[in-house]
Structure 1
């Protein structure tokens, strides 16, 4: 049974599910920062997924990155798996702009997060819903 790491649960807003991954929004309005978490038990590395799931993970990450680049007019997309603090496999997909609060440095620990408002979260869901038409946004 898939259980989301408590730190990811605490720091993010769940937006819904791709066929493999749960899509999360990092609750920091400084950046359009999304996280994909494969809904598989006890996986901390990409190579622990079977080949079909590895392929699906990168398809979902690529599709999300392309969507975010267009939706948020990103100058660069940062796509990475790190897992030094949260070992559960997760992929960061961050739309970076030259005028963002941390450019060109990494976004981690740069400043105190600013939580999204409910209205901002609804707006992000609505933007993504327009282009990810086969994505399960849940309720």
Structure 2
């Protein structure tokens, strides 16, 4: 299988890190700390993943959720696999605050959009690297941001 990231995710996100089994992305909207995990699979539904793949994905979800919770203002984490528009399996991890522009509603399809400054993306990636080092998480290559 040759894995290829859906073009819409590629257009809307920064690639922060990649492992043998997944990509970690940052959605380019600074109004919401919004991360996306994309498992390297052709399956579109979680229950179709082999047990080992499910375990790896759950580990990634837990790790990235902990990172988001520890590094961003957050009243609630939204973790979801919707995929109605982008069918490629991907998991959203979004830090929500009671003061964010969409609270208490959903963020999907919001018109509130502000691109990150490149320096902000680099800072987030650096914090993610430090988190992975602190947690002894190996196997991720951090993307060269451009």
TM bracket (short chain): over 0.9
Could you state the TM-score of these two structures normalised by the residue count of structure 1?
Answer: 0.93
CA distance in 2, matches of 1:91, 1:61: 8
Which residue pairs with 1:25 in the alignment? 26
* Residues 18 and 104 of structure 1, relative CA distance in 2, 3 Å threshold: farther
Could you state the TM-score of these two structures normalised by the residue count of structure 2?
Answer: 0.88
- Match of 1:7, SS? helix
CA contact (8 A) 1:18 1:60 kept: no
Structure 2 gaps of 5+ residues are none
CA RMSD across the alignment: 1.3
Which residue pairs with 1:137 in the alignment? 142
String of CA shifts for 1:40-96, please: whole Å, max 9, x gaps. Answer: 2x2111122111000110111011101110110311110000010000000000011
CA distance in 2, matches of 1:98, 1:83: 25
Which residue pairs with 2:111 in the alignment? 111
CA distance in 1, matches of 2:52, 2:111: 38
Which residue pairs with 1:93 in the alignment? 93
String of CA shifts for 1:78-135, please: whole Å, max 9, x gaps. Answer: 0000010000000000011111111111111222421111111111111211112234
- Match of 2:79, SS? strand
Which residue pairs with 2:128 in the alignment? 128
CA distance in 2, matches of 1:74, 1:20: 28
Question: For this pair of structures, how many residues does the alignment match?
Answer: 138
